[in-house]
Chain A
Amino acid sequence: MTSTPHPAAELPLQQQESVVIRFAGDSGDGMQITGNQFTDTSAFVGNDLATLPDFPAEIRAPVGTRPGVSGFQVRFSSADVHTPGDQPDVLVAMNPAALIVNIKDLKPGAIVILNRGNWGEVDLKKAKLDVDPRTSGVLDGFRVIEIDINARVKEALADSGLSSKDVQRCKNFYTLGLMYWLYSRPLEPTLDWLAKKFAKEPSLVNANQTALRAGYNAGDIHEHFQARYEVARCDTMLPGTYRNIMGNQSLALGLVAGANLANLPIFLGSYPITPASDILHQLSSYKDHGVITMQAEDEIAAICSAIGASFAGHLGITTTSGPGMALKTEAMGLAISTELPLVIVDIQRAGPSTGMPTKTEQSDLLFAVFGRNGDAPMPVVSCSTPADAFECAIEAVRIATQFMTPVILLSDGYIANGSEPWRLPKMEDLVPFPVTFRTDPEAFQPFSRDARGVRPWVKPGTPGLEHRIGGLEKDADSGNISYDAKNHQRMTDLRHQKVQNVADTIPTPAVYGAQEGDLLVLGWGSTYGSIRSAVDVLLKQGKKIGQVHIRHVWPMAKGLDQIFARYRAVLVPELNMGQMTRLLRSEYPGFSFVSYPKVQGLPFTTAELVERIEKALA
């Protein structure tokens, strides 16, 4: 099935609107780097795009095994895209395990590029394959291209002076070069990136650049392919300045921007946890922005140090994922009781317990809204895409500081590690919301409230305003400890009302598609892109459906009931067992909500959503 070298003629350049490539190999093969480089270069040439990394929780599972397979899917397009694509058009499989794990997902007729250099008896055995898939028939219907990447890299780097182990570590750039050729991408962005990345080790810069060029040239001499493809720049992207961004990156930037707008220094207390650690990494490098980070001894100390910093007048932030959220709950209650601003970032992952650390899920929703001892209301904001995480982080900071409350900011593994082009905000569009600290001792009471129900924020060190706060119930007037029955009712009502008042400051979400009709598809969080793609498919077919997406999970925006009233039913797809559906049923009992749950550690595909929406319409 291997193609024979083509005579040296110009290959036809075929235009394609949208292509999905999945790079798959051992977790040590550098597939995430390869995928990210392909993504950045595609962004550079002006494609719209979306990515989906899929990697094991283990850093290096045994080489060549199925559990050790790490994948990175990128969809790049000349039209708007909202998802990384349901089915890859191209699979790059660096070994038999990578092939066998991914082959079920491929589009019929897809191109499969195999690394024949890792295809011996041993490799098949490691992948638990009795029969070579090249001869078993599983590859029927695909265009298979076999290349001995190991040998080619060895040839290309024969003069590099590197050890054979180091030479083999350049395989991913050879592969990347080949894909750059196939999809007519420039090499420069990656050449530049390599020069920077290995600046201290010129031999590695040279080797990886050589491997990249060798891969590109292998395509150029028509060894393997009968055609080349081009995916033109996306002309429907709104004017502006863009950069490709991953969700955790933009979330971290949003926190810095939010603190900047609130005129507060950041204190981040955090404990490493997948998939949230990258936010800690990024913020710890922003010391020149006055960001203080502390890697605490555990999740509890992480949030407690952030609460302490908030008490002392910083913007306290803590970042984590589900298991860490569980550990932080008592401290969240303390922040609610003492009415201190705090941003708690939960990058959700598949649960319960340790669950699947690198797989995405939206199953912390009800936990975020209600999961604390006592009546402990807290605003919850949820990001919908990697770029949206920037705005949501600012929004979380706004609510926390304007309402003197902890806020949970929900993201998930799919947003955290996925990427998309981000249209950068104009600096003048970022509206400041500076914090005012109370310094006037006249008639000061720590728990007196303004018209929105918000108490004053006083920095320790301010003369004449010395006061004590704590987790015991407080007298609504003096702030002193109180176990009075009626006072507790009053304080509970005041805390509840304060959080409800946040709804006065948030807009009613816009509906996409039909403004009234048969079905409204309601989503929240990372399902945005999948739902949008499915709704687009059905709108083109003339279906009367709309899409609404919830950013403010708690409290919910006003006016949603009026939107629901315009449709016969509301379908709620979500990556959990129907938690938003439960919330909606309790908040809006007069409407019909249909749950569409999925808990497989993966996002919805467009196809499955289209099918479910069609069923709901039938």
Chain B
Amino acid sequence: MTETSILTKKDLKSDQEVRWCPGCGDYSILNSVQAVLAGLGIQKEQLCIISGIGCSSRFPYYMNTYGFHTIHGRAPGIATGVKIANPNLSVWMVTGDGDGLSIGGNHMIHMLRRNVDVKILLFNNQIYGLTKGQYSPTSPTGLKTKSSPYGSVDRAFNPIKLALGAGATFVARTMDTHPKHMEQVLLEAANHKGSAFVEIFQNCVIFNDGCFEGVAGRKVRDERTVDLHAGEAMVYGEAHDKGLRFDGFELKGTSAAEAGVWDPSVLSTAPATVLAELDGRQDLPTAVGLFRRVNAPVFDQDVHAQVRAVLERKGPGKLKDLLYTKDAWTVS
């Protein structure tokens, strides 16, 4: 058979009919992921998409790559096993706010602290969609849902802060309404060595329609978001006329000219945390783009490095030597 070295988006579409609701933000994400993965220069057999359970987790079925639709919340465990067993694979994990932060929250933080070389796409729609509309760990307090008819009394997780707190080496945020931005963030995630955590604001057209409209809607997003780029000024606004700069542990609105330059690679996670806390309540935009990118030892590589080091020191072990030890004796 012949393999071309350059894939097209079409090569990555599986023969399965996509079954998300019409208007779901997931379509846009699927489209962007296919565009980015096709351009990575990786053969499709080297791509492996792993998901948990939920609307977003149907993702692998729509990708003509290797894929594993696993169980609720456990995609990080499976993805870690796959990546360790074959570090040559490009492993992508697709999860949601319920799958990745509620039932699978423990696995998520441990995957991030280990820095397993897996790219994590967290579709955040602030709702349980596949179970038909219950509040999730990212739902705002007070949200009325089927399981919170008087409003949710839960406090919400901030996924970016959770990832920063877990020691993630790459943390970014994008939105389903802005494919160009998403593709840029996904490409940066793909190029990162280690866990790359990408929160994607995703609209659930049925159960939480418009949950990010005030931030990510096409008409408002230039005014309501600031896009973080490494080494660039924190400027926003339709006319690129506004900016942000740090004043101690707080952010102040400034003119574009006075905006601070963003560095996602500083040792402290404090600046990124402050940016993550911008949630529209202040008179400031919500931050998207690159919150953090640092180099750290990569778990799957270190696992193999340790095996190689022992093999070099001891030589390949023989089964017979394991069984026939020095304390063995013979009966004749």
Contact = CB atoms under 8 A, between A and B. Distances in A.
Given A256-B319, A466-B44, A480-B16, A316 B331 contact: no
B331 A470 contact: no
Interface in B169-216: none
Contact of A301 (B60, B74, B86, B331): B74
B327 A288 contact: no
B84 interface: yes
Contact of A459 (B86, B307, B322): B86
Contact of B14 (A241, A242, A302, A468): A468
Interface in A143-159: none
Contacts of B317: 286, 288-290
Interface string A301-322: 1111111111111101000000
B256 to A, nearest CB: 44
Contacts of A334: 70-71
B249 interface: no
A239 B45 contact: no
Contacts of B48: 312, 460
Contact of B66 (A237, A244, A467): A467
A546 to B, nearest CB: 28
B107 A301 contact: yes
Interface string A466-491: 11111110000000110000000000
B329 A309 contact: no
Contacts of B86: 312-313, 459-461
Interface string B97-113: 00000000011001000
B327 to A, nearest CB: 6
A466 B71 contact: no
Interface in B33-85: 43-46, 48, 50, 60-61, 63-72, 74, 76-85
B81 A463 contact: no
A298 interface: yes
A243 B323 CA distance: 9
A468 B62 CA distance: 9
B250 interface: no
B131 interface: no
A464 B43 CA distance: 10
B311 to A, nearest CB: 6
Interface string B1-44: 10100000000001010000000000000000000000000011
Nearest to B64: A466
A250 to B, nearest CB: 9
Given A256-B319, A287-B307, A460-B86, A238 B331 contact: yes
A463 B69 CA distance: 20
B322 A256 contact: yes
B325 interface: yes
A576 B279 CA distance: 57
Contacts of B330: 240-242
A330 interface: yes
Interface stretch (A38-46, A72-80, A203-211, A507-515): A38-46
Contacts of A459: 86
A308 B1 contact: no
Contact of B311 (A288, A314, A460, A481): A288
Interface in A446-468: 459-468
B324 A424 contact: yes
Contacts of A309: 81-82, 84-85
B315 interface: yes
B306 interface: yes
A241 B331 CA distance: 6
A131 to B, nearest CB: 45
Per DSSP, are chain A's interface residues mostly helix, strand or loop, or mixed?
Answer: mixed
Given A466-B44, A468-B61, A308 B50 contact: yes
Contacts of A306: 81
Contacts of A189: 327
A472 B328 CA distance: 50
A424 B316 CA distance: 21
Nearest to A316: B81
Nearest to A43: B329
B45 A465 contact: yes
Nearest to B103: A300
Contacts of B281: none
Interface string B80-94: 111111101100000
A586 B85 CA distance: 41
B82 A460 contact: yes
Contact of B77 (A305, A427, A464, A471): A305
The size class of the interface chain B forms with chain A is 35 or more
A461 to B, nearest CB: 6
Contact of B322 (A253, A470, A480): A253
A109 interface: no
Interface in A229-259: 237-244, 253, 256-257
A240 B331 contact: yes
Given A240-B330, A331-B71, A460-B86, A267 B1 contact: no
A311 B81 contact: yes
A468 B46 contact: no
Given A298-B106, A463-B45, A331 B60 contact: no
Nearest to A298: B106
Most buried by A among B16, B110, B306, B328: B328
B320 interface: yes
B267 interface: no
Nearest to B313: A288
Nearest to B310: A287
A294 interface: yes
B282 interface: no
B323 A308 contact: no
Nearest to A472: B69
B331 A461 contact: no
Nearest to B46: A461
A466 B70 contact: no
B332 interface: yes
A244 B331 CA distance: 13
Nearest to B315: A288
Nearest to A424: B323
Contacts of A253: 322-323
A463 B314 CA distance: 35
B45 A288 contact: no
A307 B310 CA distance: 25
Contacts of B306: 287
Contact of A269 (B77, B316, B322): B77
B239 interface: no
B88 A461 contact: yes
Contact of B85 (A40, A313, A430, A465): A313
A312 B28 CA distance: 29
Contacts of B325: 243
Interface in A36-90: 40, 43-44, 46
A5 interface: no
Contacts of B77: 269, 296, 300-305, 307-308
A538 interface: no
Given A243-B329, A312-B85, A288 B323 contact: no
Interface string B230-266: 0000000000000000000000000000000000000
B60 A468 contact: yes
B82 to A, nearest CB: 4
Given A44-B327, A243-B324, A464-B1, 15 more contacts: A237-B331, A238-B331, A241-B324, A241-B330, A287-B307, A288-B314, A289-B319, A297-B107, A301-B110, A309-B82, A311-B78, A330-B74, A430-B319, A461-B86, A461-B88
16 contacts: A44-B329, A287-B306, A288-B310, A296-B77, A297-B110, A306-B81, A311-B81, A312-B85, A461-B88, A463-B1, A466-B45, A466-B64, A466-B65, A468-B63, A470-B67, A470-B70
Interface of B: 1, 3, 14, 16, 43-46, 48, 50, 60-61, 63-72, 74, 76-86, 88-89, 106-107, 110, 303, 306-307, 310-311, 314-317, 319-320, 322-325, 327-332
Which 5 interchain pairs have the tightest Cβ spacing? A308-B81, A304-B77, A470-B69, A312-B85, A305-B81
